[in-house]
Copies of this chain bind each other. A is one copy, B any other.
Amino acid sequence: MEKLRKHIEAITPLNDEEFEYIKTFFSLKKVRKKQYLIHEGDEVKYEYLVIKGIYKVFYIDNDGKEHILQFAQENWWMSDYIGYFKQKPASMFVECLENGEVLCLTLYGREKLSADLHKMEHFFRLKLTNGFVALQQRIALLLSSTPQERYEEFSQWYPDLLQRIPKKYIAEFLGVSRETLSRLHSDSK
Contacts and interface: CB of A to CB of B under 8 A. Distances in A.
B82 A175 contact: no
Interface in A61-107: 61-62, 65, 67, 69, 81-82, 85-86
Contact of A140 (B67, B86, B132): B67
Contacts of A65: 144
Interface string A136-148: 1111101111000
A125 interface: yes
A121 B131 contact: no
Copies of this protein, total: 2
B81 A136 contact: yes
Contacts of A151: none
A143 B102 CA distance: 27
A139 B69 contact: yes
A118 interface: yes
A133 interface: yes
Contacts of A86: 133
Contact of A67 (B62, B121, B143): B143
Interface of A: 59, 61-62, 65, 67, 69, 81-82, 85-86, 114-115, 118, 121-122, 124-125, 128-129, 131-133, 135-140, 142-145, 175
